[in-house]
């Protein structure tokens, strides 16, 4: 189908993905206040992101069972409504146990969206436009990286951190209802992860390579981002407002770079694009952990510049693995493992390093892993 004819629907999906992603990262800029209110240490704060990732992992693995029964469109609507409910429940939590339970619910609610979102998106446009279409979709997480800290600071002038979560929850529910009424595409059933489909995937070396690459791509963006405000406040001595503003402004470039990455992917292919992204991002991430003074602010801006460019070529490559009927299954298996490692264990490791006295050490170790991953892209073979 013509790309521009479906542009409005792509933006609609991007809006849903924006709120879905905000649900997972909105507690990052709020974490200094949450730590203070609940008297948490840094490792406990980092464990919240591991719990979200665990829920996300389980939901992504099971998302094919949901979409195979109620269609991709209805799965998207259920996800948006569930995200809203989970955030409102989180805002009402009064203990560490209930917060962990609500973070798990948030991970489960957000996890069923992505396979159905990607399957709906790739059904709306021809394969030759996938890079650009996925880049439009990837505007959502990149915009949320900008909006989360800035929105948190703005709303906390009026509400507590609990009120911020309520606002996001209500927004997700309303957009989900709107998509159920006005959204197009996705009116077909997904593929449940049956043994034949799973066997076709696990026998593909490219599938396992992409799983590792998604772990590193998520570590470079979400993993480091979630702990960055704490790193800047606790280790670099910044105020919460300045740290959140700096982190939010540094992500503005990602909104444009994701589109650039989509165009480059359609031009030179995913393998070369991902190699360049990991090579440069790994070096910048290592530098972020060790520099000081004005160089810290510079690295905060430079580190995400290319990190966000992984996902358009990453999803394009992942969608080219295995038979077309297993496209949503490939996403629902590779991405959750990536989120547990890159979006869960990496923040937890950085938090543990912070309790040991050096957030920077944890960030630099993450950068080293990302740098090594650039050479793994050279082994990738897709259809």
Query: Rounded to 5 degrees, what angle do the CA atoms 343, 155, 342 make?
Result: 5
Tell whether the model's pLDDT for residue 132 goes beyond 80: no
The DSSP element (H or E) to which 383 belongs, if any, is none
Burial of 241 (0-12, 13-18, 19+ CB in 10 A): middle
Instruction: Give the pLDDT band (50/70/90) at residue 344.
Output: confident
Q: Looking at the 3D structure of the chain, how many domains does it have? A: 1
d(CA 255, CA 117): 19
Q: What range defines the domain where residue 259 resides?
A: 4-379
DSSP 213-245: HHHHHHIIIIIHHHHHHHIIIIIS---HHHHHH
d(CA 368, CA 364): 6
pLDDT digits (tens, 9 = 90+) for 265-314: 777 777 888 888 899 999 999 999 888 888 888 988 888 888 878 877 88
Query: Rounded to 5 degrees, what angle do the CA atoms 149, 91, 76 make?
Result: 75
d(CA 154, CA 219): 27
d(CA 318, CA 327): 8
The CATH number of residue 222's host domain is 1.20.1250.20
Residues 6 or more apart whose CB falls under 8 angstroms from that of 64 comprise 115, 190, 191, 192, 193, 328, 329, 332
Mean residue pLDDT across the chain: 81
Burial of 157 (0-12, 13-18, 19+ CB in 10 A): exposed
Q: What pLDDT does 238 receive?
A: 82
Closest to 42 in 3D by CA, of 275, 183, 307, 229: 229
pLDDT digits (tens, 9 = 90+) for 2-35: 555 567 778 888 889 999 988 888 877 877 777 7
- What's the predicted TM-score (pTM) here? 0.69
pLDDT digits (tens, 9 = 90+) for 179-217: 888 877 766 766 666 666 677 677 778 888 888 899 999
Give the tokens for residue 33. Answer: 């206040």
Instruction: Give the pLDDT band (50/70/90) at residue 50.
Output: confident
pLDDT digits (tens, 9 = 90+) for 225-253: 888 888 888 888 888 788 888 887 887 87
């Amino acid at each position: 189908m013509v790309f521009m004819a479906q542009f409005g629907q792509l933006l609609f999906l991007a809006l849903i993905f924006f709120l879905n992603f905000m649900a997972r990262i909105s507690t990052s800029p709020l974490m200094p206040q949450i730590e203070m209110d609940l008297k948490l240490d840094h490792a406990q704060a980092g464990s919240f992101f591991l719990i979200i990732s665990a829920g996300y992992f389980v939901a992504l693995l099971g998302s094919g069972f949901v979409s195979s029964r109620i269609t991709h469109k209805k799965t998207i609507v259920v996800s948006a409504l569930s995200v809203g409910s989970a955030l409102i429940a989180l805002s009402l939590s009064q203990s560490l146990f209930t917060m962990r339970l609500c973070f798990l619910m948030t991970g489960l609610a957000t996890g069923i969206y992505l396979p159905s979102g990607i399957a709906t998106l790739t059904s709306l446009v021809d394969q030759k436009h996938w890079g650009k279409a996925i880049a439009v979709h990837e505007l959502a997480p990149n915009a949320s990286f900008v909006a989360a800290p800035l929105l948190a600071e703005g709303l906390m002038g009026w509400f507590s951190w609990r009120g911020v979560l309520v606002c996001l929850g209500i927004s997700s529910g309303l957009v989900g209802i709107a998509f159920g009424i006005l959204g197009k595409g996705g009116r077909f059933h997904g593929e449940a992860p049956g043994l034949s489909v799973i066997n076709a995937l696990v026998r593909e070396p490219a599938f396992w390579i992409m799983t590792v690459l998604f772990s590193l791509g998520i570590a470079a963006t979400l993993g480091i981002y979630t702990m960055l405000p704490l790193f800047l406040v606790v280790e670099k001595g910044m105020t919460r407002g300045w740290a959140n503003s700096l982190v939010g402004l540094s992500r503005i470039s990602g909104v444009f770079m994701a589109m650039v990455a989509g165009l480059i992917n359609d031009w030179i292919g995913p393998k070369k694009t991902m190699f360049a992204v990991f090579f440069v991002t790994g070096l910048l991430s290592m530098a972020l952990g060790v520099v000081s003074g004005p160089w810290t602010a510079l690295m905060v801006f430079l580190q995400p510049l290319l990190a966000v460019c992984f996902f358009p070529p990453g999803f394009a490559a992942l969608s080219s693995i295995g038979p077309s009927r297993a496209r949503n299954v490939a996403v629902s298996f590779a991405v959750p493992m990536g989120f547990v490692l890159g979006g869960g264990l990496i923040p937890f490791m950085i938090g543990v390093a912070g309790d040991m006295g050096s957030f920077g050490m944890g960030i630099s170790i993450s950068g080293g892993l990302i740098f090594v991953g650039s050479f793994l892209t050279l082994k990738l073979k897709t259809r």
